[in-house]
Structure 1
Amino acid sequence: MPGITGPSDYSKEPIRHNSLQINSKEPFNAEPQRSALISSYLTPADLFYKRNHGPIPIVDDIEKYSVSISGLIENPKQLFMEDIRKLPKYNVTSTLQCAGNRRTAMSKTKTVKGVGWGVSAIGNAVWGGAKLTDVLELVGIPKLTNTTKYGGKYVEFVSIDQCKEENGGPYKASITLSQATNPEADVLLAYEMNGEPLNRDHGFPLRVVVPGVIGARSVKWLEAINIIAEECQGFFVQKDYKMFPPSVNWENINWSSRRPQMDFPVQCVICSLEDTTTITPGKVSISGYAASGGGRGIERVDVSVDGGKTWMEASRFQKSDIPYTADDDGNCDKWAWVLFEVTAEIQQSTEIIAKAVDSAGNVQPEKVEDVWNLRGILNTSWHRIQVHVNDSNS
């Protein structure tokens, strides 16, 4: 693509924050300390988790950078950044979460394949850019459309990113045309993150943001948009990020038997304490994040400090008066996480548990064994922290 290149090696990687926990150097995959996630409602770009499949693309000339829109449409177009910036700008607060978040905990039950994420492969940001609905209207696709007259039913996003999983080809993913053309879905072609231009790690100069859906569908370093008849046939749609039951292993897996994962389930994590924490007896603040996909808000967060025998409801915080313009309906937090907090008296060693319930009444599963799968995705089981009390008088 003119204006942007996908390097063949890792010699020109961007500088990253030195506090990140690196899970893979080449390609670079890293997450912040869990305590950093609850230090602010919006996750700073340098502390937002980094999920990559190859070397980070380099923009050579922003003026020459463009995105092609083609496929089963009548009028293919090449859009430059100035064309996209002329469209109405929307700011959407959305949480992105890697499908492999909390994979390390799942692997303790039985080995899984994938990057060893802790609990911080998630972040919340204000994404600024053009709505995909407005972009597609430029090529004659109206809002709220299920199919084009040429049979297009899916929208495929193609990156300049080069991936070993695609045999050196580009990363790509797709969503349905009905979702892409629904203004309420708030799918963006984003060029800003928290009021600043995207940095290289997060897709500069342009990326897709699909709110409420696993991060794998929010393609970075966008090169092309293809209108196609069937879902994307790429590796990350057909042979990855699918949810299988615990009975399936690598010997009997049938990838075509499952649909690609899209919405992420209700999730909740304690961030103020590590998995095993030693404290002094007394009042303990328990705080963290909770989120659910598909635009479903968090109805409540329950916390137990006695291993699940009794529960208390945590207070929830979702800041709607952020210094960016919300959408026309004022629903700037429709897709965002909540931060929660509760203070409890703890006098002896115990297990602290947190679980969330979303607006549709969905509850996190109690045991990780019940959701174990060979790819280690969507570990949304109750989050458990072991607390040891250090009583100096004993």
Structure 2
Amino acid sequence: MPGIIGPSDYSQEPPRHPCLQVNAKEPFNAEPPRSALISSYVTPVDLFYKRNHGPIPVVDDIERYCVSITGLTGNPKNIFMKDIWKLPKYNITATLQCAGNRRTAMSKIKTVKGVGWDVATLGNAVWGGAKLADVLELFGIPKFTGTTPSGGKHVEFVSIDKCKEENGGPYKASIPLSQATNPEADVLLAYEMNGATLKRDHGYPLRVVVPGVIGARSVKWLDSINIIPEECQGFFMQKDYKMFPPSVNWDNIDWSTRRPQMDFPVQCAICSLEDVNVVKHGKITIKGYAVTGGGRGIERVDVSIDGGKTWLEASRYQKTDIPYIADETSSDKWAWVLFEATADIPQSAEIVAKAVDTAGNVQPENVEVIWNLRGILNTSWHRVHVRVGHSNL
């Protein structure tokens, strides 16, 4: 692509915050400490998790950078950043979450395959850019369209990012055309994050943001947009990020029997406490995040200090005064809530948190029932253990 290159090695990586917990250096995969997540409703860019599959691309000429629109569309051509900047700009607050968030807890049941993420492989940001529906309309695809006259039903996003899983080819993923052309789905071609130009780690100069869907579909370093008749056939759509039952293992797996995972289930985690924490007295504050997919929003968060026998409802809050959000009230449905509860605990306690979304979906009690060989979508009740004693911290 003109204006952007994909390095063949890791010699041109951007700087990263020293507090990040690094799970892999090449490619770079890291998450912040869980306590850092609850310091701000909007996650600072430097503390936003980093999920990569290869060296970070480098843009050497933003004026020459463009995205090709191809496939089953009547008007294939390139679109440059100057054209995207002319379109109406939207600021959408949305939480992106890796499908492998909380994988380490699942791996304690039985070995799983994947990066060993704790509970902080997500972040909440204000994404600024053009709606994909507006971009596609420029190329003859009307809003609220499910099929083009030539049979296009899906929109494929292809990255400049090269990865070993694609045999050295580009990372790619797709969403249904009906979602891409629906302005209310808020799918963005984003060039800003938290009121500033995207950083390289997060897709500079242009990335896709698909709110409410696992992070794997929000393709970074966008190279092309293809209108295709069926789902993307790339590795990460067909041979990964699918939800299998606990009975499936690597000897009997059949990838074709499952759909690619899209919406994220209801999720929450405690971030103010580690497992195991020693506290100096019996009263503690329990803080964390809760989020769900599909634009449903969080109805409530329940907290227990006796392992789930009795519950109290946590207080929760969402948007604060953020100058670059403006009046985008619809953003609330894509964003997490931060919750807080205070309780007196006995000498030791198992503290549990679970969330309920607006459709009444609730997290499963035990991780065993949702264990899967890839360790994705661990949305079981989050548990931490504390005891009262003298802390050396």
Question: Taking structure 1 as the reference length, what is the TM-score of the superposition?
Answer: 0.98
Query: How far apart in 1 are the matches of 2:92 and 2:4?
Result: 26
Query: How far apart in 2 are the matches of 1:52 and 1:65?
Result: 21
Q: Which amino acid aligns with 2:365?
A: E
Assess if the C-alpha contact under 8 Å between 2:270 and 2:353 holds in 1.
yes
Q: Which residue of structure 1 aligns with residue 177 of structure 2? A: 177
Assess if the C-alpha contact under 8 Å between 2:162 and 2:169 holds in 1.
yes
Q: Which residue of structure 2 aligns with residue 345 of structure 1? A: 344
Query: How far apart in 1 are the matches of 2:130 and 2:148?
Result: 21
Query: How far apart in 2 are the matches of 1:177 and 1:327?
Result: 27
**1:321, CA displacement in angstroms?**
3.6
Assess if the C-alpha contact under 8 Å between 1:210 and 1:217 holds in 2.
yes
Q: Which residue of structure 2 aligns with residue 39 of structure 1? A: 39
Q: Which amino acid aligns with 1:339?
A: L
Q: Which residue of structure 2 aligns with residue 67 of structure 1? A: 67
After superposition, residues 147-296 of structure 1 pair within 5 angstroms as 147-296=147-296
Q: Does 1:367 align with 2:366?
A: yes
| Superposition RMSD in Å | 1.0
Assess if the C-alpha contact under 8 Å between 1:90 and 1:327 holds in 2.
no
Q: Does 1:117 align with 2:117?
A: yes
**1:348, CA displacement in angstroms?**
1.4
After superposition, what is the alpha-carbon deviation per residue over 1:282-336, rounded to whole angstroms, capped at 9, x for unaligned?
A: 21000000000000111000000111111000001101542124566x3121200
Query: How far apart in 2 are the matches of 1:336 and 1:320?
Result: 12
Assess if the C-alpha contact under 8 Å between 1:301 and 1:340 holds in 2.
yes
Assess if the C-alpha contact under 8 Å between 1:68 and 1:224 holds in 2.
yes
Query: How far apart in 2 are the matches of 1:324 and 1:361?
Result: 32
Query: How far apart in 2 are the matches of 1:296 and 1:96?
Result: 15
Question: Taking structure 2 as the reference length, what is the TM-score of the superposition?
Answer: 0.98
After superposition, what is the alpha-carbon deviation per residue over 1:32-71, rounded to whole angstroms, capped at 9, x for unaligned?
A: 0000000000001100000000000000111110000010
Q: Does 1:135 align with 2:135?
A: yes
Assess if the C-alpha contact under 8 Å between 2:278 and 2:390 holds in 1.
no
After superposition, residues 77-116 of structure 1 pair within 5 angstroms as 77-116=77-116
Q: Which amino acid aligns with 2:380?
A: S
Query: How far apart in 1 are the matches of 2:390 and 2:175?
Result: 55
Q: Which amino acid aligns with 1:337?
A: W
Q: Which residue of structure 1 aligns with residue 310 of structure 2? A: 310
Assess if the C-alpha contact under 8 Å between 1:133 and 1:143 holds in 2.
yes
**1:232, CA displacement in angstroms?**
0.2
Assess if the C-alpha contact under 8 Å between 1:351 and 1:387 holds in 2.
yes
**1:275, CA displacement in angstroms?**
1.7
Assess if the C-alpha contact under 8 Å between 1:101 and 1:119 holds in 2.
yes
**1:391, CA displacement in angstroms?**
6.3
Query: How far apart in 1 are the matches of 2:178 and 2:112?
Result: 34
Assess if the C-alpha contact under 8 Å between 2:27 and 2:55 holds in 1.
yes
Assess if the C-alpha contact under 8 Å between 1:320 and 1:332 holds in 2.
no
Query: How far apart in 2 are the matches of 1:65 and 1:199?
Result: 16
Query: How far apart in 2 are the matches of 1:169 and 1:366?
Result: 40
Secondary structure in 1 aligned to 2:178? Answer: helix
Q: Which residue of structure 1 aligns with residue 51 of structure 2? A: 51
Query: How far apart in 2 are the matches of 1:192 and 1:337?
Result: 19
Q: Which amino acid aligns with 2:63?
A: E
**1:377, CA displacement in angstroms?**
0.1
Q: In structure 1, list runs of 5 or more residues that go unmatched.
A: none
Q: Which residue of structure 2 aligns with residue 333 of structure 1? A: 332
Assess if the C-alpha contact under 8 Å between 2:163 and 2:170 holds in 1.
yes
- Stretches (4+) displaced over 4 A: none
Instruction: Name whichever of 383-392 and 122-131 sits farther off.
Output: 383-392
Query: How far apart in 2 are the matches of 1:90 and 1:74?
Result: 27
**1:355, CA displacement in angstroms?**
0.3
Query: How far apart in 2 are the matches of 1:261 and 1:275?
Result: 30
Query: How far apart in 2 are the matches of 1:275 and 1:161?
Result: 36
Secondary structure in 1 aligned to 2:174? Answer: strand
Q: Which amino acid aligns with 1:69?
A: I
Structure 2 vs 1, CA of residues 90 and 97 (structure 1 numbering), >3 Å: closer, same or farther? same
Secondary structure in 2 aligned to 1:333? Answer: helix
Query: How far apart in 1 are the matches of 2:70 and 2:356?
Result: 41
Q: Does 1:323 align with 2:323?
A: yes
Query: How far apart in 1 are the matches of 2:226 and 2:94?
Result: 24
For this pair of structures, how many residues does the alignment match? 391
**1:218, CA displacement in angstroms?**
0.1
Q: Percent identity?
A: 79
Q: Which amino acid aligns with 1:340?
A: F
